[in-house]
């Protein structure tokens, strides 16, 4: 199974900050990586696919990059609605696996 490791597990940031979350795969997954945002008590929301492609309707302040084993999600200017937990997921092979999540909190 491919293990997905996210770092940090949590971070505190201020409105307007640039935030970067890292996701590392235990083996190469090409660009078969997706990112999701989840707010408390809500279902995950799909943000990015193929490592760097924004889902339609997702604000351009979100961006993704990477290939192989190392990936990043960047939020260019953090807004109040962005405080949430973010998950990466590999879909290169079964079983599909998620990272442990990164909780973005208000400083």
Site string for other proteins, 73-102 (x = CB under 8 A): --------------x-x-x--xxxxxxxx-
Beta bridge partners, 73, equal: 21, 64
In three-state secondary structure terms, 36 is strand
Could you tell me the smallest distance in angstroms from the CB atom of residue 61 to other proteins? 20
In angstroms, the CA 43 to CA 63 distance is 21
In three-state secondary structure terms, 82 is helix
Which residues lie below 8 Å from residue 53, measured CB to CB, with a gap of 6+?
A: 64
Q: Is 32 in the site for other proteins (CB under 8 A)?
A: yes
Q: Is 7 in the site for other proteins (CB under 8 A)?
A: no
Q: Of 17 and 52, which CB lies nearer to other proteins in the complex structure?
A: 52
Binding site for other proteins (CB under 8 A): 1, 32, 34, 36, 38, 42-46, 49, 55, 87, 89, 91, 94-101
């Amino acid at each position: 199974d491919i293990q997905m490791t996210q770092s940090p597990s949590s971070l505190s940031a201020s409105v307007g900050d640039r935030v970067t979350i890292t996701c590392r795969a235990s083996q190469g997954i090409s660009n078969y990586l997706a990112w999701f945002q989840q707010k408390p008590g809500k279902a995950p929301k799909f943000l990015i696919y193929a490592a760097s492609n924004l889902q339609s309707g997702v604000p351009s302040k979100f961006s993704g990059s990477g290939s192989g084993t190392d990936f990043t999600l960047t939020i260019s200017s953090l807004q109040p609605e962005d405080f949430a937990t973010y998950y990466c997921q590999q879909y290169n092979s079964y079983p599909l696996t998620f990272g442990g999540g990164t909780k973005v909190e208000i400083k």
